Chains A and B, each alone.
Chain A
Amino acid sequence: DAGVTQSPTHLIKTRGQQVTLRCSPKSGHDTVSWYQQALGQGPQFIFQYYEEEERQRGNFPDRFSGHQFPNYSSELNVNALLLGDSALYLCASSLVDRSGNTIYFGEGSWLTVV
């Protein structure tokens, strides 16, 4: 158990709808990153949050947005869902001020867009 909690574990949405995924980082961690993993592929970095701000972003459209709360938990929002957004969404937590720090992943949220 990596200590990173994600919810919901599975959900089904319709094209055009919006979805919110949630993540609680490992105790003591202050940084949350989100990854998208399509079937058969490795995880792809979406963005990272630290001190309630987006620090770095991967190659994802603005339909993907996020938020970090004062307790370090985070949300991933995806608007105007497309069929191609169907994937496993992973949350990862770490400590930003630690060189070579360990990054831990949650079990993910499976999103199916129909």
Chain B
Amino acid sequence: DAKTTQPTSMDCAEGRAANLPCNHSTISGNEYVYWYRQIHSQGPQYIIHGLKNNETNEMASLIITEDRKSSTLILPHATLRDTAVYYCIVSIFQGAQKLVFGQGTRLTINP
């Protein structure tokens, strides 16, 4: 079973920041938080990952709470092309790392 809880769906206006929450209250000390998104009929696209520090790249920012029990993915200026299902995943590196996907959050960006 997935170790994360995400809202089923969210809406955001184009040009605004999209903030996607994720709860992972049972996360272990050596588990990373990964975010992927999947646009209809395409393979999952890697967005960002982090262990305990906040992370930022060209796509998004990842804010992890100090207790690591939750995180927020921030898309700073959402566009229509950001409409997708967003998956929050926690995963340990164990040599044979696998990702356990939940249902994700269906994010719709509205014009």
- Residues of A that sit less than 8 Å from B by CB: 2, 4, 31, 33, 35, 41-45, 48, 50, 55-56, 58, 88, 90, 92, 94, 96, 98-108, 110
Chain A residues with CB under 8 Å of B99's CB are 35, 43, 45, 92, 103
Give residues 90-111 of B contacting A (CB, 8 Å). 93, 95-104
Q: Are B45 and A43 in contact (CB under 8 A)?
A: no
The prevalent SS among residues of B at the interface is: loop
Q: Are B97 and A94 in contact (CB under 8 A)?
A: yes
Q: Are A42 and B102 in contact (CB under 8 A)?
A: yes
Q: Are A48 and B98 in contact (CB under 8 A)?
A: yes
Chain A residues with CB under 8 Å of B87's CB are 42
Q: Are A45 and B98 in contact (CB under 8 A)?
A: yes
Report how far A48 CA is from B36 CA in the complex, Å.
19
- Residues of B that sit less than 8 Å from A by CB: 2, 32, 34, 36, 41-46, 49, 51, 87, 93, 95-104
Give the residue of A96, A100, A103 whose beta carbon is less than 8 angstroms from that of B46.
A103
CB-nearest residue of chain A relative to B93? A99
Q: How far is the CB of A46 from chain B (nearest CB, A)?
A: 9
Chain B residues with CB under 8 Å of A94's CB are 97
Give the residue of B41, B96, B104 whose beta carbon is less than 8 angstroms from that of A56.
B96
Q: Are B96 and A2 in contact (CB under 8 A)?
A: no
Q: Are A105 and B45 in contact (CB under 8 A)?
A: yes
Chain A residues with CB under 8 Å of B95's CB are 50, 55, 96
Report how far A15 CA is from B73 CA in the complex, Å.
42
Q: Are B98 and A2 in contact (CB under 8 A)?
A: no
Report how far A100 CA is from B51 CA in the complex, Å.
8
Give the residue of A31, A96, A105 whose beta carbon is less than 8 angstroms from that of B44.
A105
Report how far A56 CA is from B93 CA in the complex, Å.
13
CB-nearest residue of chain B relative to A104? B46
Chain B residues with CB under 8 Å of A99's CB are 93
Q: Are B46 and A48 in contact (CB under 8 A)?
A: no
Q: Are B43 and A101 in contact (CB under 8 A)?
A: no
